[in-house]
Structure 1
Amino acid sequence: MILIDHPNLLKAYCSFTAGGSLWIVTPYVYWIVPKCLHIMKSAHPNGSELPVIATLLHAALNGLAYLHYDGHIQRDTKVY
């Protein structure tokens, strides 16, 4: 996972198992979510227009396509 390098994917610092669970250490991104949400709500108070939604989904799908092309799978996909 450390070798995965794509601008639309969150970088993993390391991974380990503990108590039968897999843990993946990634950057803390909580600060991004409120800012993006604020920008989206102020720019589009009645909801986003189709081209905006399409642009966001295109970026997310590019990241997923990168993973699938290299034979990786994902179990938890989030779009912030």
Structure 2
Amino acid sequence: MRAQPVWKQSEADHRAEIERLYFRLAAVNERIAELDRIHPESEALESLKASALTLTRQIDDIRCSIADEQLTGLLAR
């Protein structure tokens, strides 16, 4: 097996982390929908929404990191 450049391996790691975060986000969103049907005024609902926003920010941060690494690789050529 050929060795991959470090940035490609790093990108694969980032993409795996994004996938993991998407699964967590889907679970949180499912719980939000469930709780919204049962207890729309619940404080837990606001907490879950904040968690969902945090997960989306983490996904965005990783995506930006991937783009930065790709741009750095292109500029290094």
TM range (shorter): 0.3 to 0.5
Normalised TM-score (structure 1): 0.40
Rg larger for: 2
More helix by share: 2
Q: Which has the higher contact order (CA 8 A, sep 6+)?
A: 2
